[in-house]
Amino acid sequence: MAFQIATDEKNIEQIKLFNYSIIGICLVIFLVFNLYYPIYLGDVDRSMLLKFSGSTDNFFYIYPLITANFLHGGLIHIFLNLFFFKQFEKTFSAIMEFKTYFNLFFISMIGSSIGVVAQILIADYHVNVLGLSGVIFGLFGFLFNLISLKGKIINFVLIFGYHALFIFYLDTVKIAWAVHLGGFVTGYFYYVYLDKIKK
């Protein structure tokens, strides 16, 4: 493996505390937007979100690469993202040190956002981007290296089918596929990098 097995309680608690901190930040930001810029309960003012999200107007500045990851547009959006983010905690606290986990989180956040910049420049596909899903796909991309070939095929088919459903059939709902792809690729190659330097 490309990293040390983390068995000490301190490491586990550090990752747990970090995850709860990220969840707390997302929830606080979501509540603030709902309290001060509400349209209706559970859905925030899109005009305010665009000032901090990865929109086509401001993604070429630095701050949306960070801020867009902590914004969510509705109750279902934030619930699903935070739920799946939390599910990775036990796995990662058992296989890597906190520093490595923090680095993975951070570069997945940046990599997913850069994926949107590439999407705009190459495909001219414009969609306002917000949410923690890019980081989640970064975590998944890292773990993708550790599963069997059969598991890789099954997960690839499921992920491709999920995105194809929105891109080709549910075109009324734009999905930020470049965020997911950018995060996944970043997480995948971070493992490759770690594996190479450890050999």
Start-to-end C-alpha separation, the chain = 10
Pick the CATH number of 9-198 from 1.20.1540.10, 1.20.210.10, 1.20.120.1200, 3.90.79.10: 1.20.1540.10
One-letter amino acid for residue 28 of the chain: V
Q: Where are the domains of the chain?
A: 9-198
pLDDT surpasses 90 at 179: no
| CA gap 8, 23 in Å, rounded | 23
- Per-residue pLDDT tens for 62-115? 666 777 788 887 788 888 889 989 988 888 988 888 999 999 999 998 888 787
Alpha carbon of residue 41 to chain centroid: 24
Give residue 44's pLDDT band: very low, low, confident or very high (50, 70, 90). very low
Mean pLDDT of the chain: 76
| Average of per-residue pLDDT across 147-165 | 66
| C-alpha neighbours within 13 Å on the C-beta side of residue 122 | 7
Per-residue pLDDT tens for 8-43? 788 889 999 999 999 999 999 888 877 766 543 444
User: Are the CB atoms for 48 and 33 separated by under 8 Å?
Assistant: yes
The dihedral formed by the CA atoms of 109, 42, 177 and 180, expressed in degrees to the nearest 10: 30
